[in-house]
A and B are shown apart, each in its own frame.
Chain A
Amino acid sequence: MSNSFEHSLSYIEQFFINVKQAQALTVINFKSFPQRFAASLVSILSIGCVAAVILSVLAMTEGMMKTLAQSGLDNTVLIMRAGAVSELQSVMFPAEMNILANNSKVIRDAEGQAQVSAEMFVNAEVNFTDTSGQQVSKSLALRGISATTMKFRPNFKLVSGQLFTTGVRQLLIGQAIARRMPELSVGENITLGGAQWQISGIFSDDNSVFESELWADIGMVQSDYQRGNTIQSVRLALNNIDDLVSLEKEWQDDPRLNIRVITEKQFFAEQGESLTRLIRWLGFPVALVMALGAMVAALNTMYAAIASRSKEIATHKAIGFSPFAISTSILCEAVLIALVGGVSGILPLYLVFDGWTAATQNANSLSQMMFNFDINLKLIAQSMALALLIGLLGGLLPAFKAMRLSVTEALRD
């Protein structure tokens, strides 16, 4: 009679024996998985849905953050009326801009002209005829720009057509709009604020938020929207952005000015935060409820799998497989289901939606903002990790049950 069981194995040896046993059983479970695929389909699909929803939320927020992060320059300062959280709420006067431009810390060109841009920002109701011949109305951001504005947009490129002519109702459209609304092509006429405007060109700006805007001559926008000579925001470039703190204090102390000073980067980061917060608040609770549902589905599937294989599990125990190995193989099977589910949710989303341009209502500008779904490896890994976690948690109780399964009862049934 072998008495080797009396020799106590070290914990490490015991661990490796358990791992080897679990490996053998897991291979068997994986081999028989195709037979149980249909029974596992509900779990697979529900885990797939969760992975897809989470990935959508993450890809949306990532895409928006990327769009907004690409929109600000490091040394550019945006100035609005004090208390304004967006350009839309702000009103400023040319005199104020002159005071700001005269500051010595602002960059000047060879002719001594300060790099300052006055801008108008209007939420415009745009009417045009779509491809099916129907009249449609969209709310889009219209920016009235001045000659110096281009200096603040180094990535600006004319994709087609030409720049607008000053003093004429012509405008440029960002390429994100052009992609979403192919009816808006160069040469087409659209109605803005009751007047006909012609599209002179389409521009790109390195996928920034400006690609979701219409750009026109500031004078024409002021005139059409009855703004007199008021402007809404001022952009200016500083020689050294570190001067901003002292500059801000200087301007705050100036009784002629009543302004809010913020770096352009910070401004867009704040916008991004408020936009993505909403998506997270809506998306994550939905995903959480779905995740709980998927976990219950996985739990149910694994309980059913154990019930139908109780004799097989009992036989393994009788042969001498350890409860640890048996429960580990059950957990591995649950994770396999989650893996298949995760792939089934993530892969179609990646193939169909990666790089897809979506639009959302920008609460700050009250107009549409376009952004790309950005499905990258990091987000895929995060979504897959969640799917696997659901599988793991769903498999825990069934694995525990398998571990405690009574061989005598299972064989008797």
Chain B
Amino acid sequence: MQNTNDIILKAINKSYQKGDNTVVVHDDFNLTIKSGEFVALMGPSGLGKSTLLHLMGGLDQPTQGEVLIGGQRIDNLPQKKLTQWRAENIGFIFQSHHLLPVLTAQGNVELPLALTPLNRKQRKQHASMALQLVSMSERADHYPKELSGGQEQRVAIARAIVSDPKILLCDEPTGNLDRKTADEILALLAKLNSDSGKTIVMVTHDHKAAEYASRVINLESYILSQNNSLSKNEELLQNIEPEVDDISIGASS
């Protein structure tokens, strides 16, 4: 029986056309992330780390295979349902925060709540709480251009968590930040993982950043281990955790 919050990528094939060539990004890829885990996905560029993140968030569809979240297949959901599902279950944090310059921090955080049945007062309350969680209450009325890079990323995190999604997908969230600010942001993510039980999947090149995760997956060796495994029987793959290249650091759990 699956835990309802697990993320499971099953026999994923992902390829795309580049001119006349077919570029294979993933071939028969399998991964399970348990509910409440903070997983760092590492590895060299071009291995498809961000692609995995996009598949988990329903932003992209696999060429073949299944993406199950909480026991629900999302790779074959119609676009309309997928959009709605994403709004309710997934929070995205990008390297570039993509905050809207015309809205204040408060306005940016309130934006995803336009997708909910909450009224204006409730939206304000929720956004204030989210800003408080990321220690940005005092800057609520500031516009992005009045904030530092770290503060902008905090607001982006508040925006990602404001509708209380269970899963946070972070694509190089500290890629543009200095070490000190990056550490603050990572500590914040670790806190959200430990205190609020958010499942976090973070793509990063930064080994220091990976130390905050409860599990680090080096994608290069992970794929190698999958290819070397004796059997690719689907039933077995569901039960086998490729622990060889799975480095558990456990800094935050």
Query: Taking beta carbons and an 8 Å cutoff, which residues of A are in contact with B?
Result: 1-6, 9, 14, 17, 20-21, 23-24, 28, 31-32, 35, 311-312, 314-315, 317-323, 407-408, 411-412
Given the complex, which residues of B lie within 8 Å of A412, measured CB to CB? 50
Are A1 and B5 in contact (CB-based, < 8 A)?
yes
**14 CB < 8 A contacts A-B:** A1-B166, A2-B89, A23-B114, A32-B100, A35-B102, A312-B98, A319-B159, A320-B88, A322-B80, A323-B79, A407-B60, A411-B50, A411-B171, A412-B50
CB-based nearest A residue for B164: A2
Are A24 and B85 in contact (CB-based, < 8 A)?
no
Knowing A3-B70, A3-B72, A21-B115, the reply to whether A14 touches B80 (Cβ < 8 A) is yes
Given the complex, which residues of A lie within 8 Å of B171, measured CB to CB? 411
Binds A, one of B51-59, B175-183, B185-193, B225-233: B51-59
CB-based nearest A residue for B6: A1
CB-based nearest A residue for B84: A5
CB-based nearest A residue for B5: A1
CB-based nearest A residue for B95: A411
Q: Is B83 an interface residue (CB 8 A)?
A: yes
Q: Given the complex of chains A and B, what is the CA–CA distance between A317 and B79 in angstroms?
A: 11
Given the complex, which residues of A lie within 8 Å of B38, measured CB to CB? none
Are B96 and A408 in contact (CB-based, < 8 A)?
no
CB-based nearest B residue for A407: B59
Chain B 96-110 interface mask (CB, 8 Å, partner A; 1/0): 101011110000000
Chain A's interface: helix, strand, loop or mixed, by majority?
helix
Query: Taking beta carbons and an 8 Å cutoff, which residues of B are in contact with A?
Result: 4-5, 50-51, 54, 57, 59-60, 69-70, 72, 79-81, 83-90, 92, 94, 96, 98, 100-103, 111-112, 114-115, 159, 166, 171
Other-chain residue from A31, A408, A411 in contact with B102 (beta carbon distance below 8 A): A31
Are A318 and B102 in contact (CB-based, < 8 A)?
no
Knowing A1-B89, A32-B100, the reply to whether A320 touches B83 (Cβ < 8 A) is yes
Are A319 and B87 in contact (CB-based, < 8 A)?
yes
Most buried by B among A312, A322, A411: A411
Are A24 and B83 in contact (CB-based, < 8 A)?
no
Q: Given the complex of chains A and B, what is the CA–CA distance between A316 and B30 in angstroms?
A: 29
Are A318 and B114 in contact (CB-based, < 8 A)?
no
Are B103 and A1 in contact (CB-based, < 8 A)?
no
Chain B min CB distance to A163 (Å): 70
Q: Given the complex of chains A and B, what is the CA–CA distance between A192 and B89 in angstroms?
A: 90
Given the complex, which residues of A lie within 8 Å of B69, measured CB to CB? 1
Other-chain residue from A4, A24, A314, A407 in contact with B111 (beta carbon distance below 8 A): A24
Given the complex, which residues of B lie within 8 Å of A5, measured CB to CB? 81, 84-85, 88-89
Other-chain residue from B4, B72, B80, B94 in contact with A411 (beta carbon distance below 8 A): B94
Are A315 and B54 in contact (CB-based, < 8 A)?
no
Other-chain residue from B85, B96, B101 in contact with A311 (beta carbon distance below 8 A): B96
20 more CB-based (< 8 A) A-B contacts, given A28-B102, A322-B84, A408-B54: A1-B4, A1-B70, A2-B88, A5-B84, A5-B85, A9-B84, A20-B114, A28-B111, A35-B101, A312-B100, A315-B98, A318-B92, A319-B87, A319-B92, A319-B159, A320-B84, A321-B115, A322-B83, A408-B50, A408-B59
Given the complex, which residues of A lie within 8 Å of B79, measured CB to CB? 323
Knowing A3-B72, A408-B59, the reply to whether A323 touches B83 (Cβ < 8 A) is yes
Are B103 and A31 in contact (CB-based, < 8 A)?
yes
Given the complex, which residues of A lie within 8 Å of B80, measured CB to CB? 14, 322
Are A320 and B51 in contact (CB-based, < 8 A)?
no
Chain A min CB distance to B68 (Å): 11
Given the complex, which residues of A lie within 8 Å of B51, measured CB to CB? 408
Are A17 and B115 in contact (CB-based, < 8 A)?
yes
Chain A min CB distance to B234 (Å): 24
Are B98 and A320 in contact (CB-based, < 8 A)?
no
Chain B min CB distance to A114 (Å): 78
Most buried by B among A24, A35, A318: A318
Given the complex, which residues of A lie within 8 Å of B96, measured CB to CB? 311
CB-based nearest A residue for B99: A315
Most buried by B among A4, A23, A35, A320: A320
CB-based nearest B residue for A32: B102
Q: Given the complex of chains A and B, what is the CA–CA distance between A283 and B78 in angstroms?
A: 50
Are A28 and B100 in contact (CB-based, < 8 A)?
yes
Are B100 and A24 in contact (CB-based, < 8 A)?
no
Q: Given the complex of chains A and B, what is the CA–CA distance between A322 and B87 in angstroms?
A: 10
Are A319 and B112 in contact (CB-based, < 8 A)?
yes
Q: Given the complex of chains A and B, what is the CA–CA distance between A1 and B57 in angstroms?
A: 14
Are B50 and A311 in contact (CB-based, < 8 A)?
no
Given the complex, which residues of A lie within 8 Å of B115, measured CB to CB? 17, 21, 319-321
Chain A min CB distance to B116 (Å): 9
Chain B min CB distance to A166 (Å): 77
Other-chain residue from A21, A28, A35, A408 in contact with B60 (beta carbon distance below 8 A): A408
Given the complex, which residues of A lie within 8 Å of B5, measured CB to CB? 1
Chain B min CB distance to A89 (Å): 68
Chain B min CB distance to A32 (Å): 4
Chain B min CB distance to A401 (Å): 16
Are B54 and A2 in contact (CB-based, < 8 A)?
no
Q: Given the complex of chains A and B, what is the CA–CA distance between A28 and B103 in angstroms?
A: 8
